[in-house]
Amino acid sequence: MWHIIGQPQAVSLLESSLNRGQLCHAYLFVGPPRVGKMTLALDLAQAVNCTAEAAPCAECPACRRIVAGKHADVRVIDLNSNHNGAEGRPKAEIGIDEIKELRNAASLPPYEGKHKVFIIDGAEHLSNEAANCLLKTLEEPPPQVLFILLATKERLLLPTIVSRCQRLELHPLSRKAVAEALAERRGTDAQKAKLVASLSGGCLGWALAAEGDERLLAQRSQKIEELLQVAAAGYEERFAYAAQLATRFGHDRPSALDALKLWLSWWHDLLLVKTGCGDWITNVDQEAVLFHQAAGYKLAQIKGAIDSLQAAGEQLDHNANPRLALEVLMLNLPLKRG
Ligand SMILES: [Zn+2]
């Protein structure tokens, strides 16, 4: 049984390769964060090590140990793992030591299963040295070893690594599919399932995590309030907010980036409403507010705000001065009429 929901193309390709006994030695799963890359990787690790006839069965000891992270032949390498196997502080990159250790481990035969499986989660975070070391291993793959690379930002990978892997793209699910999965797996009520599904952008892993995290939805409500206040405010108040957000960026980068992401989804919703596509908005619980607000802006103003938000996001990605980038953004967002 495959745990992954959706992704029919990827699953059918893997299934037919498994059935023909023609699995590649390296795969690259590409897709947005929490779309299901790790779930599919663990499914595949189960499929090659399962002891039942209909693999992956999800129930035999091998399948259970893999899901529990206790199988000796299945290893996950990510920003949290250390080369000695211990959990440590998250790092900025996956270094050469981890990949050297991986090479050594890959050269030994499987310990308890049929295949050794190395899952590199966040392959775009491999240091240059580590990527080149991995490339050598991919060029001369040891037998009975399967490499599965997971990446969100494929453009940051060495092209030579990409060309050594069978590449599979994972796509966001439809809102309907996410809502159905929430109802089925968590018993989520219809209204909440609809909201979480539309906020998830089709990434079921995010939706499942958010569904059970009241704090996350409360933080979103707070950020929406901030956003509405700033949209209605004059420059003085906006600059104060830019300074506050820049400080937040300094000590909690993900939270500040989340705020900007929400702003972008909000203005995108305003664009949808303005152009008569209100059925497609993301912030489905804020429909009335969005319709009211959209009436106060011209289409060009909304488009301009989206451009400015995208530009600010890119500048922050490229380590621009956050306060400066956010102040420019505050200047560019349209002032409320009247
Ligand atoms: Zn099994």
- pLDDT tens series, the chain, 338 aa: 889 999 999 999 999 999 999 999 999 999 999 999 999 999 999 999 999 988 899 999 999 999 999 999 999 999 887 655 555 566 789 999 999 999 999 999 999 889 999 999 999 999 999 999 999 999 999 989 999 999 999 999 999 999 999 999 999 999 999 999 999 999 999 999 999 999 999 999 999 999 999 898 899 999 999 999 999 999 999 999 999 999 998 888 888 888 899 999 999 999 999 999 999 999 999 999 999 999 999 999 999 999 999 999 999 888 889 999 999 999 999 987 64
The Cα 128–Cα 215 span in angstroms is 38
Q: How far does the centroid of ligand 1 lie from the alpha carbon of residue 50, in Å?
A: 4
Q: How far does the centroid of ligand 1 lie from the alpha carbon of residue 13, in Å?
A: 20
Q: How far does the centroid of ligand 1 lie from the alpha carbon of residue 69, in Å?
A: 14
Instruction: Choose which CATH entry (3.30.470, 3.30.1330, 1.20.272, 1.10.287) describes domain 214-332.
Output: 1.20.272
User: Burial letters for 269-291: b for 16+ Cβ neighbours within 10 Å, e otherwise?
Assistant: bbbbbbeeeeeebbbbbbeeebe
**Within this chain, domains 8-169 and 214-332 share the same CATH topology:** no
Cis bond before residue 142 (omega within 30° of 0):
no
Q: How far does the centroid of ligand 1 lie from the alpha carbon of residue 210, in Å?
A: 29
30 neighbors 169 (Cβ within 8 angstroms):
yes
In this prediction the pTM is: 0.84
The structure tokens listed for 331 are 């200047």
Q: How far does the centroid of ligand 1 lie from the alpha carbon of residue 68, in Å?
A: 13
Q: How far does the centroid of ligand 1 lie from the alpha carbon of residue 82, in Å?
A: 29
Query: Alpha helices, DSSP H only, in the chain?
Result: 8-20, 37-49, 61-67, 96-106, 128-139, 159-163, 175-186, 190-199, 204-211, 214-232, 235-251, 253-274, 287-295, 299-317, 322-332
The Cα 150–Cα 156 span in angstroms is 12
What ranges do the domains of the chain cover?
Answer: 8-169, 173-212, 214-332
Which CATH code fits 8-169? 3.40.50.300
Q: How far does the centroid of ligand 1 lie from the alpha carbon of residue 228, in Å?
A: 51
3-state secondary structure of 318: coil
